[in-house]
Structure 1
Amino acid sequence: MSSPPSNQQNEGRRRSSFYNSFQEVLNAGGKNSINNFASSYSRSANFLNADFDYSQRPSKLTLGTSDDAQLDEESALIDEDSPSTYTGVDDDHLDPNQPLHQHQHNYGAIMDEENISIREEVLLKSGNSTAPQTIFNGINTLIGIGILTLPLGLHYAGWILGSIILLSCAISSQITAKILSECLKKNPKMKTYGDIAQYSYGRIAYLVVVSTFTIDLLFAGISMIILFADSFNVLTGIKTVYFKILISIMFFLLSFVNLSILSSLSLVGIICTSLIVCVVFFCGFIKAHAPGSLLEISSTSLWPMDLKHLLLSLGIFMSPFGGHAIFPELYKDMKSPQKYKKSCNVIFSFTWFVDYVMASLGYLMFGQIITDQVTKSIMLTEGYPKWIGLVICTLMGLLPISKGPLITRPIITMTDQLTLDLSLHPKKSNHEFVIKFINRFVVTLIFLITSLIFTDFGRIMSFLGSAICFSICIIYPLAFYLKLYHDELSNLQKTISYIGIIIALIFAVSGTIAVVFA
C-alpha cells in the first residue's frame, strides 16, 4: 500500500500545475501568442547587430565592382571559398512546417553553438514573424525618444509647413521601406541593409553604411544620456554631469549582459514611451491655465519663426522615421513576406498619427516657450502636482537603462572583433576578457565624453534627422533601387528617384549646416 503524498510533493504538483497553466496562457493564440510576440520582438531587437558582425560578412558580390562583373547576377552572395564559418542559412532549404528548434538542431552539427556569431544567430532564427508581430516591431522601432522634441519642431516650422513636412517624411519613408524589400528580391541571399549596400555598390558601400549606422548609434546613445541627466537635473537641481556619469556606469555594467536579456529588457522601453505620451496628455487636462494646459492653449504660429529654424525643424521631423536599418530584416523575418507592404502602411500611418498628436499636444500646451523636451517643459512649469515630476523622472530613468545598452552593443560587437583579430592570443579566455573589458570601458567613455560636449537634446535630434536619417531612409534606398533596377525602371520612375535623392540631399546638407552654425 502506497503512502499518501507528502506536503512537499503536493506543493510541487501545485507549482507544476500553475506553471503549465501560465504557459498555456502565454501560448494561447497560436502564431500570435504572447510567447511568439516576445520571440519576434527579441529577434527584431537584435537585427542591427547582424550588419556589425564584420567577421561574418560575405566577401564576394555580383554587382558593384569590376572584379565581380563576370559573375552571374543570380549567383550566391556568399564566398564559398572563404574560410568563414558562415553557413548562409538558405531560405530554400528551410521547411516552413518544421519547428524553429528543429532547424537549430539541424544546423547544430555544422556550427559550434558556443561560438556562433551574431549574424549567424540572427539569420538562423529569421522567417518566423506574423504580420501583427512585424507591425508591432516596426512601430516600436520608430516610436522612440525623438517624439519628445517634435513639439519644438512644430514651434520652429509653424502649423502649416510643420504639418506638411512631418507628413512628407512619413510618406517618403514608407515608400523607401517598401523599396528596400524590392531590392532584397534581387538576390535571395541578401538579408540585411548592409547586404543590399554591398550587393549594389561593393564593399566600400557596406563600410559607408556601417559608418553611418555607427554615427547614428553614437548620437542616439548620447541623446539617451542627455535625456536622463536633464530630467533628474530639473527634479533635484544636481548638476547634469553627475547624472551623465551615473547612466554611463549603468551602460558599462549592462554591456556585459547577454544580448537576449538586453532584448527582453528593452521591452520596458516600449512601456515607458507609451506612458510618456499618456502623461503629457493627462498633464494637459489637470492644469486649468496656460502655460502647460489644453484647457487654455498657449499662443502658437501658423508659419515658421525664420529660415534658420525651419531648416532645424527638417531633422527633428525626420528623426522619428530613422529605423530603416532593420526593415530589410523585418521583411526577411516574416512568414508571409507578401504582407510586408500592407504592414508598412500600418506601421508608418500609426507612427505618423502618434507623432503628430504628440507634436500638437506639446505645442498647444506650451506654444512659444516649449523646450527641446516636452517632458522638461512640464517639469519646469509650476501648477502640476509634485508627483508628476517623479513619474516623468522614473520613466526617463527606465528608458535609457532599457534601450541604451542595446544601442551601444553593435559598436561593442565590432570593436571586439577588430581588437580580438589583432590580438596575439585571441584564444586565451583571460586575455579575451581583458580586451572585452577595455573595449566596453573605452566605448562607454566615448559616449560620456561626447555627451559632455554636445548637451542640446534638440540639436542632437535635428542632427540625427538631417545628417543620418535622410541618408538611411531616403538617399541610400533610392540609390540602391536605381542601381539594381536601372534597366527595368521607366524614365519617369528614374526621374522621380533622382529628384528624391536630390531633394533629400539638399535637406540633409542644409539641415546639418543649420545645426552646426545656428
Structure 2
Amino acid sequence: MSSLPVNINYGSPASFRSALESYRRSRYLMANFIEERQRDSPPSHRSDPEACINPVDLEDALSDGAHTPSSSRSSSSEDGMMDNLRWDEDVIITPTQNLDSYQWNAPAVAPTEPLALGIPQERTPLIRKANSLSIPRTKKGYGSIEDKKKSKIRTKPPPKIRPLEPTQKVQEIAPVTHRPAGRSTFGQTLFNAIATLLGIGMLSEPLAFSYAGWGCGTLLLISYAWVTCRTAKILARFITTDPAIRTYADIGRKAFGKKSMPFISTLFCLELFTVTVALVTLYGDSLETIAPAYPSNVYKILGLIVLIPTVFLPLSWLSVASMLGIFSSILLIAVILIDGLSKKTAPGSIWDPQHTDFGIASFPKLGVSFGLFMAGFSGHVAVPGLARDMIDPTQFDQMIDTAYLIATTLYGVIGVAGYCMFGNGISEEFSQDLFSTPGYNELLNKIALYALIITPMTKFGLTSHPMNTILEHTLGLDPHTNHRTHGYEEQVRCQTSFKRVGSIIQRILMTFLAVAVSIALPEFSSMVGILGSLFSFLLCVIGPIGAKIAVEKSFTKMDILVLLIGVAMASWGTFSVWYTQ
C-alpha cells in the first residue's frame, strides 16, 4: 500500500520554490521554442515522439557496441544552471554518448533468449522490451507432452534480420524515447499563462479605447479575447494529440510542410525584433519622464551599456529577472486605480472623467486600435510549452479560459480607468500622464515608472534570445553544433572559436539595430500597432486556424468567418499604422 502524498501548503517555501521553478521552466521553453527544432531532426523523420536513432550512430554502435542512447544535454550547454533545475527536456534520449555516461533504470526481468540478428557476437544498442519471439529457457524432462509440443513450436528459430543499411530510414527501427511528463500544476500553469499575456500591450489599452470609442473598443476587446482563447486551445490540441509535436514551429511544419519553416522563422524573428524595439522605446520614454534633462534618444543610446550584457546572460538568470515584469504590471494596475480613486477632480480622476466618445475617432485610428488591442493577446508562441509542461493536460481548456478571463478583466480595468482619467488627450503611454498630472502621490508614481524602466532591461535578453539563436543557425554561427572530428581537433577548435566570435558580433549588432530603429520610429503606439496588426494576427489567429484546416482537411463556417475577418483586420490595421505616421 503506497503512502499518501505529502500536502504542501500554498504559503510554504516549498510551494513558492515550485511556482518559481515552473515559471522559469515556462520562460525557458518559450525562449527555446524553435532552437531545439533548429538543431534536431524534424518530426516528420521520426516514427516515435521526440527521439530517434541516427543511422550513422546506429551503424557505429552495431559495429563496435560503443554507443548507446543517452541524455541530450551536452556538457557544453550555455547555461550550466539549467541542469540543477532538471528541465523536462533533460530526459529526452538521443544517441550522443557512451553507455557508461548514462545509467538505465530498467526493471528486473527473467532471463530470456535474446533475439538473434544473424551476426556472430553482435550486440544491439537499442533498449527495448523483449520481442514476442523470445521465450524463457525450459529444462528438459519437465512439463507435459503438450507443453513440449508447444515449446517446439515456439522455439523455432526466428528469421534472420539483416543489418541496417546506411541508407535505410530511421523509421524502420524502433526508436528509444522517454516522453517527459509535465511538472506544473493547474495553478502554476495559470500563473505562467497570465504572466505571458500581461505584456507591453497593457500600456496601450487606454489609447486603444480613445481610438475606437467605448462601443467598438469594448466589442474588440471581448471578441479578440474569445478568438485568441479559441486558437490557443487549437494549438494545445495539437500538442496533446500528437506527442511528436513540441513547439509552435512543429505545428507549422506538420500543417504546411517543411518548406514553410523559413517563413515561420522569419516571422518569429520579425515579431521578436519588434518587441525588442518597443522595449527600448518604453525604457527611453519612461526615463525621459523621470529625468527630462536629456531626450529619450540619449537614454536609449546609454542603455546599450545595460542591454548588450543581457543578451549573453544564461536563460536561468533571465527567466528570474523577467519576473519583475509581472510585479511591475501588478504595481501599475494598483497605481492607476489608487491615483484615479484618490483624486476627486479632473484631470486624472475616475470620479470626474474627462471627455470621451462612444463612437470611433476616425477610420485610420480605428485600424490602429486593431493592433493595440490584439497586442495584449500575443502569447501563443508559449502555448505549446505551457501545454507540455502541465501535469494534467486535460485541464488546459479550463486553465486557459480562466487565464483569458483574468487578463481580459485587467485589460478592461486599465483601459476604462485610463480613458476616463485622461480622455481623448491620453498619451501613447499613459504612464507618462500619471507622472505629469499634479495631485498624485509622487513617490508611488515614481516607483511605478522605475519599474517600467527596469522591466524592458530584464525582458530584452529573454526576448532576443530565440531571435539570436535562429540567426546564428542560419548564418552557421551556432557554437554548439556537434562536430565529428576524426583527428582534426585543432581545426574544429578554430571553427568553434570563429563561431563564438561571430555569435558575439551578431548579438551586439542586433542590439544596436533595435536601438537604431527605436530612434528612427520613436512612437510606442506604432510599434505596438505593428506588433498586434501584423504579427499577432498571423501567429494567434490566422496561423492556428489555417493549421487546423490544413491538418483536418475540413472546416466550419466559424473557421472561415474568423479567418476572413482576421485577414481583413490584419491588412487594415497594418496599413493604418503606416498611414498615420
Number of residues of Structure 1 aligned to a counterpart in Structure 2: 462
> Contact 2:275 / 2:463 at 8 angstroms: preserved in 1?
yes
Residue 548 of structure 2: aligned partner = 481
Task: Report how far residue 167 of structure 1 moved.
Answer: 0.2
AA of the residue aligned to 1:504: G
Across the aligned residues of Structure 1 and Structure 2, the Cα RMSD in angstroms comes to 3.2
Residue 120 of structure 1: aligned partner = none
Residue 142 of structure 2: aligned partner = none
Task: Report how far residue 165 of structure 1 moved.
Answer: 0.5
Q: Deviations over 1:170-196 (max 9, x none)?
A: 000111101112223452111111001
Q: Deviations over 1:328-358 (max 9, x none)?
A: 1211111101000000110111110000000
AA of the residue aligned to 1:499: L
> Contact 1:130 / 1:334 at 8 angstroms: preserved in 2?
yes
Indicate yes or no: 2:409 matched with 1:353.
yes
Residue 373 of structure 2: aligned partner = 317
> Contact 1:478 / 1:497 at 8 angstroms: preserved in 2?
yes
Residue 256 of structure 1: aligned partner = 312
- 5 Å matches for 1:329-340? 329-340=385-396
Measure, in 2, the Cα distance between the counterparts of 1:221 and 1:236: 23
AA of the residue aligned to 1:470: F
Indicate yes or no: 2:338 matched with 1:282.
yes
Residue 397 of structure 2: aligned partner = 341
> Contact 2:229 / 2:400 at 8 angstroms: preserved in 1?
yes
Indicate yes or no: 2:248 matched with 1:182.
no
Larger Rg belongs to: 2
Indicate yes or no: 2:535 matched with 1:460.
no
Residue 146 of structure 2: aligned partner = none
Residue 128 of structure 1: aligned partner = 183
Residue 273 of structure 2: aligned partner = 218
> Contact 1:292 / 1:365 at 8 angstroms: preserved in 2?
yes
Indicate yes or no: 2:560 matched with 1:505.
no
The TM-score with structure 1 as length reference comes to 0.82
Measure, in 2, the Cα distance between the counterparts of 1:163 and 1:299: 17
> Contact 1:161 / 1:303 at 8 angstroms: preserved in 2?
yes
Residue 56 of structure 1: aligned partner = 39
Unaligned runs of 5+ in 1: 1-23, 63-70, 90-98, 114-122
AA of the residue aligned to 2:187: P
Residue 42 of structure 1: aligned partner = 24
Q: Deviations over 1:465-513 (max 9, x none)?
A: 1101111111000011111112xx5xxx522212211110000000000
CA 1:132–1:83 in 2, change beyond 3 Å: closer, same or farther?
A: farther
Residue 501 of structure 2: aligned partner = 434
Residue 368 of structure 1: aligned partner = 424
More displaced 10-residue stretch of structure 1: 439-448 or 74-83 = 74-83
> Contact 1:225 / 1:451 at 8 angstroms: preserved in 2?
yes
- Of 325, 328, 345, which aligns to 1:272? 328
Unaligned runs of 5+ in 2: 1-5, 58-67, 73-83, 99-177, 480-489
Q: Deviations over 1:414-433 (max 9, x none)?
A: 23334445899663464444
CA 1:105–1:138 in 2, change beyond 3 Å: closer, same or farther?
A: closer
Task: Report how far residue 36 of structure 1 moved.
Answer: 1.4
CA 1:291–1:426 in 2, change beyond 3 Å: closer, same or farther?
A: farther
> Contact 1:420 / 1:426 at 8 angstroms: preserved in 2?
no
Measure, in 2, the Cα distance between the counterparts of 1:474 and 1:190: 19
> Contact 2:71 / 2:91 at 8 angstroms: preserved in 1?
no
Q: Deviations over 1:345-399 (max 9, x none)?
A: 1011111000000000100000011111110111232333433452233111111
- 5 Å matches for 1:52-201? 52-53=34-35, 55-59=38-42, 61=44, 80-81=53-54, 127-201=182-256
- Of 457, 470, 487, which aligns to 1:401? 457
More displaced 10-residue stretch of structure 1: 104-113 or 452-461 = 104-113
Indicate yes or no: 2:364 matched with 1:382.
no
Measure, in 1, the Cα distance between the counterparts of 2:53 and 2:219: 49
Task: Report how far residue 31 of structure 1 moved.
Answer: 12
Task: Report how far residue 155 of structure 1 moved.
Answer: 0.5
Measure, in 2, the Cα distance between the counterparts of 1:327 and 1:397: 27
Measure, in 1, the Cα distance between the counterparts of 2:12 and 2:550: 41
CA 1:497–1:305 in 2, change beyond 3 Å: closer, same or farther?
A: same
Residue 17 of structure 1: aligned partner = none
AA of the residue aligned to 1:130: T
Residue 308 of structure 1: aligned partner = 364
> Contact 1:183 / 1:484 at 8 angstroms: preserved in 2?
no
Measure, in 2, the Cα distance between the counterparts of 1:335 and 1:329: 12
- Of 7, 12, 15, which aligns to 1:33? 15
> Contact 1:58 / 1:77 at 8 angstroms: preserved in 2?
no
Residue 536 of structure 2: aligned partner = 469
CA 1:252–1:421 in 2, change beyond 3 Å: closer, same or farther?
A: closer
Residue 355 of structure 2: aligned partner = 299
Residue 207 of structure 1: aligned partner = 262
AA of the residue aligned to 1:381: T
CA 1:100–1:31 in 2, change beyond 3 Å: closer, same or farther?
A: farther
Indicate yes or no: 2:430 matched with 1:448.
no
> Contact 2:50 / 2:179 at 8 angstroms: preserved in 1?
no
> Contact 2:212 / 2:360 at 8 angstroms: preserved in 1?
yes
Measure, in 2, the Cα distance between the counterparts of 1:377 and 1:239: 17
Q: Percent identity?
A: 25
Task: Report how far residue 38 of structure 1 moved.
Answer: 0.9
More displaced 10-residue stretch of structure 1: 379-388 or 473-482 = 379-388
- Of 467, 473, 493, which aligns to 1:411? 467
The TM-score with structure 2 as length reference comes to 0.73
CA 1:399–1:103 in 2, change beyond 3 Å: closer, same or farther?
A: closer
Residue 114 of structure 2: aligned partner = none
Measure, in 2, the Cα distance between the counterparts of 1:208 and 1:186: 25
